[in-house]
Amino acid sequence: MSAHFRHLLYVMRENPVTFFSFVLFFLLMALGLFGPWLAPYDPLASDTANALRPPSWAHPFGTDNLGRDVFSRVITATRLDLAISVAAVSLSFVAGSAAGVCAGYFGGVTDKLIGRLTDTIMAFPLFVLAMGIVSALGNTIENIVYTTAVINFPFYARVARAEANSRREAGFVEAARLSGNGHGRILLFHMGPNIMPPMMVQISLNMGYAILNAAGLSFIGLGVRPPTPEWGIMVAEGAKFIVSGEWWLAIFPGAALMLAVLCFNLLGDGLRDLIDPRMRT
Amino acid sequence: MKSDSLFLIGRRLLQAAPVVMGIIVVTFILTRALPGDPAVFFAGPAADEKSIAEIRASLGLDKSWPEQFWVYLQNLSRGDLGKSISTGQPVMEELATRLPASLELTLMGLFLAVAIAIPLGMLAATRPNSLVDHLCRLVVTIGVSLPTFFTGLFLVYIFYFLLGLSPAPLGRLSIIHIAPDHVTGFYLIDSLIAGDFEVFRAALYQMILPASTLAIFALAPLARMTRAAMLGVLSSDFVRTARASGLSRKTILWVYAFQNAILPVLTTLGMVFSFLLGANVLVEKVFAWPGIGSFAIEALIASDYAAVQGFVLAMALMYVLLNLAIDILYTVVDPRIGLEG
């Protein structure tokens, strides 16, 4: 058994919360991949004779104002919600770590320029900036992805910069330089793998925020359009019925959203324990 | 206040200048990034070639980018943010009339969060692994994972629909009450000035749920930071020395530990405010609160362009101002600054 695997088992046994988050993570992934086949009903099929029914055996999460099965819609929505945030986080991870590593490794003007860029983005309240960018680029799902990537860019750039900066004079970097590697090779094959662990933690902690942000944008009517099942827009549509007591329309997709965010936040804490045992709290 | 504090404050004010410049450049870029031709967009669907050309000239879009930026700066310095298409009013005016509603709500939320988070974090830090500590951890974990709009709707369902304790989530005052005379724009303050306690109570009731929603959201990072900072300070050498010198528990906690632990919490407060300004937009939608967030959402849906950009600029400037205020407070509070002077 490899040391890593043993350590993983140890962390799981020691911390049931991390174990729970791993289980939740695999459940989310399964729903994201196989959701459309697992849903008992067609998420778009309306049945007005059965509108606004409370949760029952036939419809565990009840039905909405058009008689659509809320359970099926919540399950089907997993894929879209995860896809948006995974795409956004991947973009900002790639761009942010590239920029951050260059800033930390080269220093000087590169560092100043990239630092100025991240500072400017961070000078805005991020959700508000997201609203502004979506309005400028146009109201589509792709633009929600780009926008979420832009507002998360500084987090990756900062972590990558700090990690690269502390390693620019490290022995293995000097050795690589002396054996005739160019800057590109050093950054990609020597620096890159070394800053991966803290970046993975950052990804996991950031995923939750990306999901919240994307769902918030669709809650105010940007990006995803009805009748597409998506958690944020389902909560928005269900909001009208809360005051008359039909709680299940908004509460179930909202709870799914909360569980997904909770899962990634706990996973991030767990990964940090796994990667850096010193930071364990 | 010592003279070196003043010097630090002055330097901090200068440092804000490039940030403000950056914000203005970004909002300018956003106004020019319209998909398609802005002139066609502003002219409306019924416009012909001639009127589009006129609008292009009137918007200054026939000039080069640096010239356009110069015009943009001049307009900004006059407080001119353009006209809102949907209401026909200048954006500046629209934002100014709605700002007090948003500000009152956000500040109330922040106040509630601070009032709960700091004692909670301190209690958790002084009693590690006690019930309070576990409660603190639970609040922190759940708090960061709750979507604000979901919390808001959940509270509405419990306190309005099930328990009937709170008024309908429809704005700042129910229709049976008349808004107090405008002095500050804050209903809570204005009603007290007018001496109308009935309206004060109504406005307060109306505000409890949305402010709590914001507070639940802001609570988590503040409590987490207070706990961590307090734990760090309590295990430091100077606290050990103070304890060994026989100072009372109360003195150590409030005079020695608290003053030092509050500094990182103040820094976190800036970040929390950034999140709150965003969360405020969502909460305003849930509670039909007539603030600038609701205005921005309507503008976004109607593609009312100048209004959205004005909103983004106003929020960013507000955030810069708040960060400035926090930094100034920091220099005043920090026990290490001023000792050398």
Q: Smallest CA–CA separation between A247 and chain B, in Å?
A: 7
Model pLDDT, residue B94 = 87
pLDDT value for B335: 64
A227: cis peptide before it, omega within 30°? yes
The answer to whether the complex's ipTM is over 0.90 is no
Nearest to A52 by CA among A219, A229, A248, A237: A248
Q: Which of B20, B149, B230, B309 to mutate to test the interface with A (most CBs of A within 10 A)?
A: B149
For residue B268, CA distances in Å to B140, B239, B330 come to 14, 23, 12
Q: What's residue A277's pLDDT?
A: 55
The pLDDT of residue A93 is 93
Distance of CA A267 to the CA centre of its chain: 12
What one-letter code names the amino acid at B55? I
Tell me how long chain A is: 281
- What is the model's pLDDT at position B105? 92
Structure confidence at residue B339 (pLDDT): 45
Q: Which residues of chain B have pLDDT under 50?
A: 1, 339-341
Backbone angles phi, psi at B128, to 5 degrees: -60, 140
Interchain contact A123–B (C-beta under 8 A) = yes
Domains of chain B: 91-301 (1.10.3720.10)
Q: Cα-flanking dihedrals φ and ψ of residue A69, to 5°?
A: -75, 115
CA distance A82 to A21: 16
* CA distances from residue A133 to A217, B29, B86, B201 in whole angstroms, order as listed: 11, 10, 20, 39
pLDDT of residue A89: 94
Residue whose token pair is 């795409």: A87
- Mean pLDDT per block of 10 residues along chain A (281 residues) reads 73 76 88 82 78 78 80 88 92 93 88 90 90 85 92 91 85 85 84 83 86 90 85 88 84 92 86 63 44
Give yes or no for A164 touching B (CB within 8 A). Answer: no
**Partner B, chain A 256-275, Cβ-Cβ below 8 Å:** 257-258, 261-262, 265-266
A180/B contact by beta carbon, under 8 A: no
Other CB atoms closer than 10 Å to residue B4's CB: what's the count? 14
Q: Cα separation of B288 and B170, whole Å? A: 5
> Do residues B268 and B202 touch, judged by C-beta distance below 8 A?
no
Contacts of A247 in chain B (CB under 8 A): 157, 161
Contact B153 A239 (CB under 8 A): yes
Within 10 Å of residue B114's Cβ, how many Cβ atoms? 18
B335 contact partners, CB below 8 Å, separation of at least 6: B259, B260
- In chain A, the residue whose alpha carbon lies closest to the alpha carbon of B323 is A123
- Please state the pTM of the whole predicted model: 0.86
Nearest to A260 by CA among A75, A104, A38, A78: A78
3-class secondary structure, A65:
coil
Query: What are B255-301's pLDDT values in tens digits?
Result: 788 888 888 888 888 888 888 888 999 999 999 899 999 999 888 88
Q: Which pLDDT belongs to residue A280?
A: 47
A120/B25 CB distance under 8 A:
yes
Chain B CA closest to residue A129: B312
> Which of A116, A247, A258 has the CB atom closest to B147's CB atom?
A258
pLDDT at B111: 92
Residues counted in chain B: 341
Secondary structure in 3-state letters for A155-219 = HHHHHHHHHHHCCCCCHHHHHHHHCCCCHHHHHHHHHHHHHHHHHHHHHHHHHHHHHHHHHHHHH
CB pair distance less than 8 Å for B285 and A219: yes
